[in-house]
Amino acid sequence: MFALIGLVAGVLLGLFLHPSVPLWLQPYLPIAIVAALDAMFGGVRARLEGVFDEKTFVVSFVGNTIIAALIVFLGDQLGVGSQLSTGVVVVLGVRIFSNAAAIRRKLFGA
């Protein structure tokens, strides 16, 4: 419940405050979002399966986001940024889909 309120409040905050993203951070924003979504879906699934743990969620959220951005940064330095971004998106996308499928099974039994 708190979590949902936090999410909605965050969206509203972002929409109203319009924080401008510094230019050097812009390439990492989409990847960070995908990583954050992955952590979020993982948390929702764990909650539905009854094994949710706050500390694990926070650590995985922060860790995934930072590591995803770091990988892209490293790729940019090496000249393979777009390929590495694709790799990160594919892996996280697979995880998001599998978690979403599990959530769907828990919620709708289908």
Partner 1 sequence: MMGPVNVRDERDGPDAPDGAGRPVQGGPPGRWRRPDASMSLLSDLFEGRLADPGYAAAAARRRAAGNAPAPRRLRAVVALSLLLVGVLLAVAGAQVRRGEPVAARQRARLVDEIHSRTRETDALSRRLDRLRTETSRLRAAALARSAAGRRADRDLAAAETAAAARPAAGPALVVTLDDARRPGASGAAGDDGRVYDQDLQILVNGLWAAGATAVGINGLRLTPTSAIRTAGEAVLVDYRPLTGPYQVTALGDPGALRAGFTGSAADQRLAALRDRYGLRYGVADEGRARLPAAAPSAPRYARPAGEKE
Positive or negative, the CA dihedral 20, 26, 30, 33 is: negative
Q: Which of 27, 46, 67, 103 binds partner 1 (CB under 8 A)?
A: 46
Would residue 50 be called left, alpha or beta, if left means φ above 0 and alpha means ψ between -120 and 50 degrees?
left
Query: For residue 11, what are its two tokens?
Result: 């969206």
Nearest of 84, 42, 86, 33 to residue 60 by alpha carbon: 42
Query: For residue 22, what are its two tokens?
Result: 């510094």
CB 31 within 8 A of CB 88: yes
Residue with tokens 């860790």: 63
Does 56 bind partner 1 (CB under 8 A)? Our answer is yes
Q: Which of 22, 23, 24, 51 binds partner 1 (CB under 8 A)?
A: 51
Does 70 bind partner 1 (CB under 8 A)? Our answer is no
CB of 89 to partner 1, least distance (A): 14
- Compute how many residues bind partner 1; rule: CB under 8 A: 51
CB of 13 to partner 1, least distance (A): 6
Q: Per CB under 8 A, which region of 71-79, 80-88, 96-104 contacts partner 1?
A: 96-104
Q: Which of 27, 37, 67, 81 binds partner 1 (CB under 8 A)?
A: 37
Q: Which of 27, 52, 81, 89 binds partner 1 (CB under 8 A)?
A: 52
